């Protein structure tokens, strides 16, 4: 990204003043494995990406907040004493939700101007929303000296999603965006936020992300329904065991109590979460043993479970995964993110990448009529000042 060009655009939009323009960056994230386990108190294995969201910000000394984006339509001029949600789907709700969280904590920023620019595909399941949230929170915390640490900013951003956006998300996205480290995945216990940085060096292989270009409206999707189904499973299981989250239950324990879950769909959701949690733990062992073939098999199993038991893949993501599995040199392929559209993550031998692009793209278009986009990101660091 050309920061000089972005600064020129900032000045052309907002004009000159005596205050310096500060620049911040927050990455997107991809989850290698561990889907829909985070809000169930389970384990996940995400990593930060080399692409993300850039934010240029400047104090103004007045009571106005001015927002603009290079990626989304609409500019917003709002007064500090008249902030509120701007429709259901406006991108500006993410920074507004962050400001709302600061103000609830008695931290009140003065006026400022913000210009966002990012290279994360929107609505692709790569955490463009968490990237916007964290870059906003990190910038305001630095600019106005609020004194919050990264963990507090992570939790503030999650509360923004819950209370302002209306999505009962787990904490994985915000955590990965804030705490990412180059060439490492994050083995995160979403129950207590204990984490371990796991070296993730692919050697002869590449991480390839494929965007289905089937947008997903997360807050309007079945996401919150899945959350409630998992909560129902816990209530049923608690007739025999005492647990707060599905992530606390072992496979052996689940086999003893699954008969207590009467609704077949609720039972399937719980079955996925508990098995997926186990797959994350196995994946960490695979990475530590440099066993990428095992990691790939676990990724494939994860996709099948998300298709058959959690029912969040859909024909587009299934078509991408199935096309990838047919290609020599592909170790693993699965949907990543909440599902209902978005992306797959694939581990592909570097010599097979071009064939992968060609064959997956052709088969996907033939099955769905859509054109996929392909990305080869590096694994990067978390939110920071530039």
Which H or E run includes 373?
strand 373-375
Distance CA 82, CA 322 (A): 50
State the maximum Cα–Cα separation within the chain, in Å, rounded to a whole number.
68
Distance CA 374, CA 303 (A): 19
| 100 carries an active-site annotation | no
Annotated catalytic residue: which of 173, 194, 265, 373? Answer: 173
Q: List helix spans (H) across the chain.
A: 3-14, 93-104, 128-143, 150-160, 172-179, 223-237, 251-257, 264-288, 292-308, 314-325, 353-368
Candidates 300, 319, 318; CA nearest to 361 is 319
- Say if residues 190 and 44 touch (Cβ distance below 8 Å): yes
Distance CA 21, CA 57 (A): 6
Candidates 267, 261, 333; CA nearest to 296 is 333
For residue 95, give Cα distances in angstroms to 60, 133, 147, 153, 317: 17, 6, 19, 13, 30
Question: Catalytic residues, which ones?
Answer: 173
């Amino acid at each position: 990204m050309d920061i000089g060009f972005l600064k020129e655009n900032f000045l052309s939009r907002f004009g000159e003043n005596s205050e310096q323009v500060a620049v911040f960056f927050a990455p997107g994230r991809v989850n290698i494995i561990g889907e829909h386990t985070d809000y169930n108190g389970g384990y996940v294995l995400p990593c930060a990406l080399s692409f993300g969201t850039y934010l240029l910000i400047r104090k103004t000394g007045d009571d106005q907040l001015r927002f603009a984006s290079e990626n989304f339509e609409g500019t917003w001029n709002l007064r500090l004493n008249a902030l509120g949600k701007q429709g259901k789907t406006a991108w500006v709700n993410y920074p507004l939700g962050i400001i709302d969280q600061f103000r609830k904590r008695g931290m009140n920023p003065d006026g400022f101007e913000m210009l966002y620019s990012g290279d994360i595909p929107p609505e692709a399941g790569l955490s463009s929303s968490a990237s916007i949230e964290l870059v906003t929170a990190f910038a305001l915390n630095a600019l106005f000296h609020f004194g919050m640490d990264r963990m507090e900013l992570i939790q503030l951003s999650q509360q923004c999603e819950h209370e302002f956006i209306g999505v009962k998300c787990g904490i994985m996205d915000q955590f990965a965006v804030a705490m990412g480290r180059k060439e490492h995945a994050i083995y995160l216990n979403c129950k207590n936020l204990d984490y371990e940085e796991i070296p993730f060096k692919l050697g002869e292989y590449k991480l390839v992300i494929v965007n289905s270009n089937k947008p997903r409206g997360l807050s309007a999707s079945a996401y919150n329904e899945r959350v409630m189904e998992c909560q129902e499973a816990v209530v049923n299981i608690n007739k025999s065991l005492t647990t707060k989250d599905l992530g606390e239950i072992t496979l052996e324990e689940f086999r003893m109590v699954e008969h207590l879950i009467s609704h077949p769909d609720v039972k399937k959701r719980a079955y996925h979460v508990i098995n997926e949690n186990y797959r994350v733990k196995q994946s960490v062992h695979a990475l530590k043993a440099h066993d990428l073939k095992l990691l790939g098999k676990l990724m494939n199993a994860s996709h099948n479970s998300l298709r058959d038991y959690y029912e969040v893949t859909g024909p587009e993501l299934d078509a991408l995964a199935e096309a990838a599995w047919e290609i020599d040199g592909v170790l693993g392929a699965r949907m990543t993110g909440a599902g209902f559209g978005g992306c797959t993550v694939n581990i592909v031998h570097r010599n097979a990448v071009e064939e992968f692009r060609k064959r997956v793209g052709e088969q996907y278009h033939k099955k769905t009529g859509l054109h996929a986009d392909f990305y080869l990101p590096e694994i990067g660091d978390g939110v920071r000042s530039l």
